[in-house]
Structure 1
Amino acid sequence: MPKKLFKKTLSKTDVDYRMTIPMDSLPAFQIPEGEHQKEVAAVDIDGHRWSFRCCTRKKDPHPKPVLSSGWIKFVKNRGLKEGDEVIFSVPHIDGAEGLFGIEARKKIKVFGQDFWSNPL
């Protein structure tokens, strides 16, 4: 069972430009000291591999990590919108340490109640 790194409800900025990453999850991305970005790989529930760039601010005491390059492609592929949810995990798949897991769930409103789709 993969270990959940974080779960996030997507904001408008997350689906239009880049996804902000919770600060307490930043160490898992292992950006080398002195650098401000790193390419990271994630695998979805279908086994499709995605590549994202994890970036932080260069000269700011608050690094505000984000996923940029490749992120919007994932959002569009999954048809994600504001209010949908993404779950990142750090599994060990086929011995590939550091390969993140990614799941997306769409929020569906039925008769005023919120339901979640199966992972995408």
Structure 2
Amino acid sequence: MPKKVFIKTLSKTDIDYRMTIPMDSLSAFQIPEGKYSRAVVAFDITGRPWSFRCSTRKKDPRPKPVLSSGWIRFVKDRCLKEGDEVIFSVAHNDGAEGPQFRIEARKKLAKLFGQDIWSNPL
């Protein structure tokens, strides 16, 4: 069963350049010690793989992790906008090498009686 790594409401920077990852979620991406990035493949709800680069700052005490290299392609494919959400989850399969990531996106459709109304996962 996949475990949620994070749910992120997308900002303008997330839409235009790269997606910042919540710092408390960085350990799920298992960047090797002494390295500052690693390739990450996440599967969408249709099973399509999406390749991203998860990286941190090299010379900063606050690593500020981001997803790039492929991220903007995912944003454009899903027609995501500021305020939409991305959900990253991970499953640790016994037979697989390392964690298997999943990615879902939801579009904010409206607000009704103070509650956000979301699309089905994209």
Class of the TM-score when normalised by the shorter of the 2 chains: over 0.9
- Equivalent residue, structure 1, for 2:110: 109
Q: Please, what TM-score do these two structures have when normalized by structure 1?
A: 0.93
1:95-120 deviations in Å (ceiling 9; x for gaps): 43412010000001267863100000
1:66 aligns with 2:61: no
Q: 1:1-120 to 2 correspondence within 5 Å?
A: 1-92=1-92, 95-96=95-96, 97-109=98-110, 114-120=116-122
Task: Give 3-state SS (helix, strand or coil) of 1:58's partner.
Answer: coil
The count of aligned residue pairs is 120
Counterpart code for 1:34: G
Q: Please, what TM-score do these two structures have when normalized by structure 2?
A: 0.91
Structure 1: gaps spanning 5 or more residues: none
| Structure 1 CA distance for aligned equivalents of residues 26 and 112 of structure 2 | 38
Greater than 2 Å deviation, 4+ residue runs: 92-97, 110-114
CA RMSD of aligned residues (A): 1.7
1:15-71 deviations in Å (ceiling 9; x for gaps): 100000000110111111111110011000000000000010000000000001000
Task: Give 3-state SS (helix, strand or coil) of 1:63's partner.
Answer: coil
- The alpha carbon displacement at 1:75 in A equals 0.4
Task: Give 3-state SS (helix, strand or coil) of 1:50's partner.
Answer: strand
More strand by share: 2
Counterpart code for 1:118: N
Task: Give 3-state SS (helix, strand or coil) of 2:15's partner.
Answer: helix
Counterpart code for 1:69: S
